[in-house]
Structure 1
Amino acid sequence: MTHHILKATKETVHLGGFSHKLEPALTIDSGDTVDVETYTGYYVYDKAPPEFLTPEFVDICQNLSPERKVAAGPHLLTGPIYVKDAEPGDVLEVRLEAIAPNLPVGFNAIRTGWGALPQKFTQPALRFIPLDLIHNIAEFPTGSGIKIPLKPFFGILGVATPETSRISIPPGCYGGNIDNRELQTGSRVFLPIFVPGGLFSIGDGHSAQGDGEVNVTAIETSMNGRIVLTLRKDLQLSTPIAETATDIITMGFAQTLDAALEIAVKNMIDFLERFANLSAEDAYVLCSLAVNFRITQVVNSPQKGVHGMLPKSILSHKINL
């Protein structure tokens, strides 16, 4: 297997969405490892403190070509990565081997009309938050003594679809802006593939986030990672699933939390039928007895997210994904 380094430059990033028409930033074989660099804050860089800025990031913000501006989303994504022999109907396994902030500062933004309480918090607000990368914490508010543990993850892990362009804000069957804080180092994410090569992109680094991401953003952070991309022709999925050290995760995305919960439950039942050999009714009961359903995010309009967490410790045998 080959090891690649994918730096974030104006030639290797794209803005605002996914598109199968983008020129790949990297082509790899299944099972290759990629050290990937991501930046965030394209639309706030002119307000950022010096420690948020690198020459490469400023060059991206000032000189990104129109061809790399896909849609109106705010996210700067690294990729896409083309996986040889990947075809529609296959599954891409993304193993997250390392995730770490690459700058000692992130930001949080309230955006007018967005968030869980848009009528109460009507004014935009932007805060840059220092990151203590030695002690792995962020103090917020500064001077308050409130110390938030840094638990970094990538908010966006997604593949391209047949549409010419797809905005990066809502998640969906292709992954995208999942914003699931459980997907930290050591996790695996499984994404259905829709176009040749898969065309995987990554970004939207978060150093810390609560379930729900209620004010629209987390501590948005430029992030480095090491990922392994493996083509899985032995799996068929219609929606993403994930695995952490402790849990199997199914996901539901819909315009209401009720609908997202229903989808997440149905997806967990389907998973238990396929991989644990349970009847649908027994799986439904088990969901009520032992699966934890949590709000992923409520802000990625028009799709809210709910995820179900099945503790692997309750299973009598290991499920091999």
Structure 2
Amino acid sequence: MAETLISYDINKAPEEQDIKPHNRWHPDIPMAVHVKPGDEFRLECCDWTGGQVGNNDSANDIRDVDLSKVHYLTGPVSVEGAEPGDLLVVDILDVGPRQDQLWGFNGVFARENGGGFLTEHFPEARKSIWDFHGIYTSSRHIPKVRFPGTIHPGLIGTLPSRELLETWNTREQALVDTDPDRVPPLATLPYEDTALMGDMKGEEAKRAAREGARTVPPREHGGNCDIKNLSRGSRVYFPVYVKGAGLSVGDLHFSQGDGEITFCGAIEMAGVIDLKVGLIKGGMQKYNISSPVFQPSQVDPQFRDYLIFEGISVDEQGKQHYLDAHVAYRQACLNAIEYLKNFGYSGAQAYSILGTAPVEGHISGIVDIPNVCATLWLPSEIFEFDIHISDSGPTIEIGDDVDTSTAS
């Protein structure tokens, strides 16, 4: 078993941990632990909210999550010999839930608190709780669905250099300035009040908190990429921007559909991850790499049968867009939701299924003007009944006595 370098006490707040996590990116965050190339080690992680969401039947906690605090990341891990310009090689040896917390949650965020991919259709907070049974998961809020998880870290990356941090903050501020009052905002900018900068203290911590980049988006260093196939057996090549690399990880998911469309769209969990690190000296220049390269696992669940839903670059109001993949994938998701409603699922339940189950999202065509063809591949084997199209038509399989939980 890999040595546990950082433990996490789920009964304590992030600020009370022996080795504090961080929820901002900044080059001056002190390294929490030190390893050498070739080392294998384990890190424990809280859920991305730091324990703000409970195992209950109310979505009030989803409605009230303070998104200025997330994500809580374990690290940074310093790798001996890592210098700017190198590539950090990270093997994901294993990843899974904590044995003392065998459940996770999926949330549909309210429009006022970040929303989601389909906010206009699902503007209110919703939550579903998922229980873990070995590699399988099921939910009391979404009956007759059971599937194996592609367990993975939603967020993993290296510390930015000061120059890279300034680039992020400058370009994201310029975007927000185009529509500063938009809800939800166009980007999340530095915010000192709720920043946790690892073990930084005093004026140094306050200064870094004013500058630290939020963890919401993916960027050149990795970050919140939400690639569901980065499960056990995956490898990632990260650009190194600071001495020691500063590898951090968190936002562990038991399962997720491509796109993580409900925003809190995966099955979020607290868990553990085993990693091995290596270095390729001067690798950024050798391979002309300025963003991570990912090598997926060979051990993900394999499905044999899918229903594939198409979407094109025409929105719900019938407006034609030019080669817009965002609009096209949105339509594919909406078409799948409407289909699942034929079997008795509510729209919110169907939305949650697409966010949590290992659905595949594809850009199937992107050159045929004016429409992108985006497709959503829904594995039929996750259902305990037949969802295929037949002459007899759909049969209602789900009663109205259970649904995703709502906020009161």
Q: Are the aligned partners of 1:73 and 1:168 in contact in 2 as well (CA < 8 Å)?
A: no
Asked if 1:96 corresponds to 2:92, the answer is yes
- What SS is found at the alignment partner of 2:266? coil
1:258 Cα offset (Å): 5.0
Q: What's the counterpart of residue 60 of structure 1?
A: none
Q: 2-side partners of 1:143 and 1:194: how far apart?
A: 44
In the TM superposition, what are the counterparts of 1:255-270 in structure 2 within 5 Å?
A: 258=325
CA distance in 2, matches of 1:144, 1:128: 11
The question of 1:123 aligning with 2:124 is answered yes
**What is the rounded CA distance, in whole Å, between the counterparts of 2:108 and 2:225 in structure 1?**
19
Distance 1:168 1:87, change over 3 A: same
Contact 1:26 1:81 in 2 (8 A): yes
| In structure 2, distance between residues paired with 1:208 and 1:178 | 14
Once the two structures are superposed, residues 31-68 of structure 1 have per-residue CA deviations (whole angstroms, 9 ceiling, x without a partner) of 211111111053653x5139xxxxxxxxxxxxxxxxxx
Hey, what does 2:54 align to over in structure 1? 48
Provide the C-alpha distance between the structure 2 equivalents of 1:86 and 1:201, rounded to a whole number of angstroms: 15
Aligned-residue offset at 1:27: 1.1
Q: Is the 8 A contact 2:129 2:140 kept in 1?
A: no
2:85 matched to 1:74? no
SS in 1 for 2:268: coil
Matches within 5 A, 1:1-321: 3=3, 5-8=5-8, 10-42=17-49, 44-45=51-52, 47-49=53-55, 72=68, 74-102=70-98, 103-113=101-111, 114-133=115-134, 136-142=135-141, 144-161=143-160, 162=162, 163=165, 164-216=211-263, 217-236=265-284, 237-245=289-297, 258=325, 294=362
Query: Partners of 2:242 and 2:8 in 1: how far apart?
Result: 23
**CA separation in 2, counterparts of 1:91 and 1:169?**
23
How far apart in 2 are the matches of 1:74 and 1:132?
27
**Structure 1 range deviating more: 197-206 or 144-153:** 144-153
Equivalent position amino acid for 2:90 in 1: V
Match of 1:53 in 2: none
Q: Deviations over 1:39-98 (max 9, x none)?
A: 1053653x5139xxxxxxxxxxxxxxxxxxxx9352111001111221111111110011
- Runs of 5+ consecutive residues of structure 2 not aligned to the other structure: 10-16, 57-66, 166-210, 300-322, 327-359, 364-373, 375-408
8 Å contact 1:150–1:207 — kept in the other structure?
Answer: yes
Q: Return the alpha-carbon distance in structure 2 between the equivalents of residues 210 and 13 of structure 1.
A: 30
Write the distance in 2 (CA, Å) between the matches of 1:143 and 1:160.
39
Identity %: 25
Unaligned runs of 5+ in 1: 51-70, 248-255, 260-291, 296-305, 307-321
Shift of 1:246: 5.4
TM-score, normalised relative to structure 2 = 0.52
Q: Which runs of 4+ in 1 moved over 6 A?
A: none
RMSD: 2.8
Distance between the aligned counterparts of 1:97 and 1:173, measured in 2? 23
Matched letter for residue 138 of structure 1: T
Partner secondary structure for residue 259 of structure 2 = coil
CA distance in 2, matches of 1:246, 1:97: 12
More strand by share: 1
Highest CA radius of gyration, 1 or 2? 2
Higher deviation after alignment, 228-237 or 196-205: 228-237
Distance 1:207 1:257 in 2: 30
User: 2: distance between equivalents of 1:39 and 1:188?
Assistant: 22
Indicate how the Cα distance of structure 1 residues 240 and 294 shifts in structure 2: closer, same or farther if over 3 A, else same.
Answer: farther
Q: Would you say the 8 A contact 1:16–1:168 is kept in 2?
A: yes
* Displacement after TM superposition at 1:25 (Å): 1.3
Q: CA deviation at 1:14?
A: 2.3
Count residues with an aligned counterpart: 232
Give the drift of 1:293: 8.3
